[in-house]
């Protein structure tokens, strides 16, 4: 049933399109051969394929741009990339002390860690990245006297199912 309906639509559109093309050709352009219904149907098929191609390209571009602007997973902070798995906590603490040399204020450390993707709550910052079946966890905490940070410590680890 759907095939007959589609064929009737093509034949109807082809006949209408053929009349329009013939009228335009008789008024403005001299054609060397008459346009047939098969020519019109072939052109519709080509246009439909092209429209599908353009639609797929647009979807791919839009999805790619969205994922680039709003990544689904948080990016690993720069000072934590490429940590060795055996001595991760010691290396992480060393990189942290280099990235945030003391003395600093509580607000400077908090804003720097927020910029790196950490969630900051009072004097503790946490970063978690889940990659099935494990979750990577980084915790940073600091001690303060007034607004000045006196000590900064960190823990790096993971938990798996």
Average confidence (pLDDT) over 82-110:
78
125 or 15: whose pLDDT is higher?
125
Residues 102, 112: Cα–Cα separation, whole Å: 13
Q: Tokens 């280099």 sit at which residue?
A: 98
pLDDT exceeds cutoff 90 at 60: yes
pLDDT tens readout for residues 16-33? 666 766 766 666 555 566
Quote the CA–CA distance of 98 and 79 in Å, as a whole number.
9
């Amino acid at each position: 049933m759907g095939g007959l309906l589609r064929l009737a639509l093509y034949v109807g559109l082809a006949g209408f399109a053929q009349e329009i093309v013939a009228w335009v050709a008789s008024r403005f352009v001299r054609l060397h051969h008459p346009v047939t219904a098969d020519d019109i149907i072939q052109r519709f098929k080509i246009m439909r394929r092209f429209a599908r191609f353009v639609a797929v390209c647009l979807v791919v571009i839009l999805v790619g741009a969205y994922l680039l602007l709003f990544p689904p997973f948080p990016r690993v902070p720069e000072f934590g990339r490429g940590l060795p798995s055996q001595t991760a906590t010691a290396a992480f603490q060393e990189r942290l002390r280099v990235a945030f040399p003391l003395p600093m204020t509580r607000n400077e450390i908090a804003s720097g860690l927020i910029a790196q993707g950490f969630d900051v709550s009072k004097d503790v910052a946490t970063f978690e990245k889940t990659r099935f079946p494990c979750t990577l966890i980084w915790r940073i905490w600091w001690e303060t006297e007034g607004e000045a940070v006196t000590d900064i410590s960190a823990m790096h680890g993971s938990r798996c199912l």
